[in-house]
Every structure is written in structure tokens, then in C-alpha cells.
């Protein structure tokens, strides 16, 4: 029986063995980020509500409908982070990282984010992202570097079906003119009340409408790609050239818009075809005006958020074969008090040698302890009984085959190291 309590609806939780996978893919990302010079940040999980209002944008679903906002005991309005970019930028400016070293400031962070969405497979109210940002340069090589980092991480996990959808959303020079054109086009369509309202507030989002009746009418809609200013066009061409140099495939997706208001120029999504409605496994782009929007200096930036939950679902859907390192390779089966002592010390020795080891606890008999050994996932059991102790050896049993050999106690660590590497 469980307790009287359950986790709140829509919270994504992980327990072993899935949680081991979760931790392993996050570690793999940490290593990629390190190799590319990105430093780690550990940041606030809640912020002044106005940071997200101004940063992410009032017209977005995230801010207008999905934030977990509460008043603290001092009457301040706080919000659980619905995303990381605004928080990262706030922290970079607050800690003056942009004044301390070379630009761009290259950083990453990870943890839960919160959005009050309708929960379903792949869409949670508490979910997990890997977030990486490069702040302080417009150099298109940084756009390509960040995209490559995400693509290489997916590939390193064994995912082969990830698609990269790429677009440019222009800048504060060329987008207003395009926005007006798009609004004129959209006002002439047959749309419902709510969508007509959206034309006035956030017309680009209408392009993203998934309903077939709406999509059918959008065929002739003007596209940002055809109205980029010369500087944005050049930037976009450079990014694509650099991705091609790295051998990273993408699909030009001129209708791609993102759910957050801060994006400029390069925008992209990583999509997984086996995940149904929640196929966006990661997304990102440039936000060249965001620092000023939150009261800081002009500091262009680019980055991404990769959804850890959906990445796990993609691994499972593709049966990608990426596995966490085992939690137990050798399992000690002690029979009697002296054997318990010896195997307790052996487990410690094995761990220090980098071998995952565990033992039976609670004074179990042979049968119970062997059952634990099987459940542990270990390759080998080390069985130590009174007769073995007297002979100065232990029984080394390969669990998959049942093969058993006696090994001198003094040779156990080296023998196990050798046999595990076979």
C-alpha cells in the first residue's frame, strides 16, 4: 500500500532504473558543455514575476496562462521559473559575468521548470531542461556552435531520428514591417474570434496554428524568410554555411515560430518524429534585445533549452541503446558474521577501484542473498561461506551462466577487474 499522498498532478518524477538514465544523459551533456568551454550555473528556482513578464513576454501562453505565481510572506509576487533564459541572463548581469572575462559569457544550467499546462505524455507541469546560453556576441559561429553542441549530444545518446528545424525571425529592424504585412494577410482570412484577437497581439503565433482548417488558409502567407533585412539574411546564410561545414543536417522551416517573445534571428527546434503531439525535444535561438528588455545593457545572446523528459521518451521510442553505467557489477553474498565483515571491506575496495559493488544486508541466508544478487543486475556474485573463509578463498559466480570458480581472497579485486573487462 502507498501512503495517503501522491505527487501533484503533472509532475514528472524519476525513480530507478529510469532515473539512472536521466542522470547519465545529463552527465553526458555536462561533459559536452565542458569540452566546449561552458561554465556551470546553479540558479534561483523562483524569481520576481516581472522578470518573466518582461523577459518572456505578456503575449505568450507561458506568461499569460501557465505560470505558477504566488505571493510570499512579504507580499512580493514570485513565480516558479517557466524557463531558464530570463533567469540566466538576470544572473549573468547581476553577478557581472559579462564584465569579468571575454565575451561571450558561455554558461549552462539544468533543473526543473514549471508550466501549468494540461498534462499528457511528454507534457508536464514540472519538467526538466538542460539550458545553455552564450551571451555577448552576434557572431554567427556561436549560433552554429550551440546548435552543434545539442546535435552532438543527441547523437552521442544514440538517437538517429532527431530533426533540426531552422528559421530566422529577423530583428527589430525588419520584423515590424513583416509583422504588418502578415497582419494584413491574416485579417483577410476566415478565423474564429480567439485567433482574430491573436492577429493583433502575436500574429506570428497564428502561423503555428496546428488546425488543418487554419493551415489550409495559410498557404499564401508572407514569410519572414522573404523579408529579412540584409544583415539578418547574411547572418542566416553564415549560420547555415557553418552547420554545413560541420556536417550537421537541418531543414529550412520558414513557418517555425517559437512560443516565447524574445527571439530574434536564428531560431530552431529539435523534433522527434516518434513522439506524437509533444515532438519538440529541444528548442532555442537568439534573443538580441532581451538584456535591454530586463533593464540591462545591450548584450546579444543565443542558447537553447533541451527537454530531458522528452529526450528520455525519444531514447525509449527509438530503443536507442544508450545505457547508464551499472549501479552494481559485483554482489557480495556473505554467509555468517565474519564473511559479512570481509565482504563489506571487499565492496569498499572494489568501489575504490572503480567497480560498482553491493552486498546483501540483514543477515540473509544463501537463497535470499542470491535472489538479491540476481535482482541487483550484477554480473558476478562473490559468495563467502565458512568453508571458503577457512580455505582463504571465495566462490566467484558469473550470474548469467552460473559458472563458478574459487578465487583466493587476496586476488579478488584484480580477478574481478580482469573478468569485468572481458
Contact 267, 169 (CB under 8 A): yes
**Residue whose CB is less far from ligand HAM, 275 or 369:** 275
**Site map (CB under 6 A) of ligand HAM, residues 98-117, x = contact:** -----------------x-x
Alpha-carbon distances of 115 from 13, 199, 303, 306, rounded to whole Å? 15, 24, 20, 15
Applying CB under 6 A, which of residues 54, 90, 98, 123 lies at the interface with ligand HAM?
123
Indicate which single residue of 53, 205, 310, 397 sits in contact with ligand HAM (rule: CB under 6 A).
310
Residue among 7, 9, 12, 15 nearest 278 (CA)? 12
Using CB under 6 A, which of 52, 127, 154, 268 touches ligand HAM?
Answer: 127
Smallest distance, ligand HAM to C-beta of residue 227, A: 23
309 binds ligand HAM (CB under 6 A): yes
- Among residues 305, 299, 271, the alpha carbon closest in space to that of 285 is found at 305
Q: Of 27-35, 128-136, 291-299, 336-344, which segment contacts ligand HAM by CB under 6 A?
A: 128-136
**Cα–Cα distance for residue pair 317/51, rounded to 1 Å:** 37
Please report whether residue 136 would count as binding ligand HAM according to CB under 6 A: no
- Residue 78, Cβ neighbours under 10 Å: how many? 17
Q: Which of 133, 143, 288, 329 binds ligand HAM (CB under 6 A)?
A: 133
d(CA 381, CA 370): 8
Residue 232 CB neighbour total at 10 angstroms: 22
Q: How far is the CB of 380 from ligand HAM (least distance, A)?
A: 39
Residue of minimal CB distance from ligand HAM?
307
Using CB under 6 A as the binding rule, whether residue 47 contacts ligand HAM is answered as: no
Q: How far apart are the first and last CA of the chain?
A: 43
Q: Does 138 bind ligand HAM (CB under 6 A)?
A: no
Q: Any idea which residue has 528556482 for its cell?
A: 45
Per CB under 6 A, contacts with ligand HAM among 267-286 are 280-285
- Alpha-carbon gap, residue 226 to 238, rounded angstroms: 17
- Contacts with ligand HAM by CB under 6 A lie at 83-85, 115, 117, 123-124, 127, 129, 131, 133, 259-260, 280-285, 303-305, 307, 309-310
Amino acid at each position: 500500500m502507498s501512503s495517503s499522498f501522491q505527487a501533484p498532478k503533472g509532475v514528472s518524477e524519476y525513480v530507478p532504473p529510469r532515473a539512472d538514465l536521466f542522470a547519465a544523459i545529463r552527465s553526458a551533456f555536462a561533459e559536452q558543455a565542458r569540452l566546449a568551454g561552458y561554465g556551470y550555473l546553479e540558479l534561483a528556482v523562483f524569481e520576481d514575476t516581472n522578470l518573466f513578464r518582461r523577459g518572456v513576454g505578456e503575449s505568450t501562453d507561458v506568461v499569460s496562462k501557465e505560470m505558477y505565481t504566488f505571493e510570499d510572506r512579504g507580499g512580493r509576487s514570485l513565480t516558479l521559473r517557466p524557463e531558464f533564459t530570463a533567469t540566466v541572463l538576470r544572473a549573468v548581469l547581476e553577478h557581472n559575468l559579462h564584465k569579468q572575462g571575454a565575451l561571450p559569457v558561455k554558461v549552462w544550467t539544468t533543473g526543473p521548470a514549471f508550466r501549468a499546462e494540461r498534462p499528457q505524455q511528454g507534457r508536464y507541469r514540472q519538467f526538466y531542461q538542460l539550458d545553455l546560453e552564450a551571451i555577448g556576441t552576434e557572431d554567427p559561429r556561436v549560433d552554429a556552435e550551440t546548435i552543434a553542441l545539442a546535435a552532438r549530444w543527441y547523437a552521442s545518446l544514440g538517437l538517429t531520428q532527431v530533426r533540426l528545424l531552422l528559421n530566422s525571425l529577423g530583428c527589430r529592424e525588419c520584423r515590424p514591417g513583416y509583422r504588418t504585412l502578415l497582419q494584413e494577410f491574416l485579417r483577410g482570412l476566415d478565423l474564429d474570434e480567439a485567433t482574430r484577437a491573436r492577429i493583433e497581439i502575436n500574429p506570428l503565433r497564428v502561423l503555428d496554428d496546428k488546425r488543418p482548417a487554419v493551415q489550409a488558409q495559410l498557404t499564401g502567407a508572407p514569410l519572414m524568410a522573404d523579408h529579412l533585412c540584409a544583415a539578418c539574411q547574411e547572418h542566416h546564410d553564415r549560420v547555415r554555411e557553418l552547420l554545413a561545414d560541420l556536417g550537421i543536417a537541418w531543414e529550412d522551416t520558414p513557418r517555425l515560430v517559437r512560443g516565447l517573445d524574445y527571439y530574434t534571428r536564428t531560431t530552431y527546434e529539435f523534433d522527434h518524429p516518434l513522439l506524437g503531439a509533444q515532438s519538440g525535444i529541444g528548442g532555442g535561438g537568439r534573443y538580441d534585445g532581451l538584456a535591454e528588455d530586463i533593464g540591462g545593457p545591450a548584450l546579444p545572446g543565443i542558447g537553447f533549452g533541451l527537454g530531458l523528459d522528452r529526450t528520455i521518451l525519444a531514447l525509449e521510442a527509438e530503443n536507442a541503446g544508450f545505457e547508464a553505467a551499472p549501479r552494481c557489477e559485483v554482489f557480495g553474498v556473505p554467509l555468517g558474521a565474519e564473511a559479512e565483515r570481509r565482504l563489506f571491506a571487499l565492496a569498499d575496495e572494489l568501489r575504490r577501484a572503480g567497480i560498482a559493488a553491493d552486498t546483501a544486508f540483514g543477515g540473509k541466508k544463501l537463497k535470499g542473498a542470491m535472489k538479491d544478487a540476481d535482482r541487483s543486475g550484477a554480473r558476478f556474485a562473490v559468495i563467502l561461506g565458512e568453508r571458503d573463509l577457512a580455505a582463504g578463498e571465495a566462490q566467484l559466480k558469473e550470474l548469467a551462466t552460473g559458472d563458478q570458480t574459487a578465487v583466493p581472497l587476496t586476488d579478488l579485486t584484480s580477478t574481478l577487474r580482469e573478468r569485468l573487462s572481458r
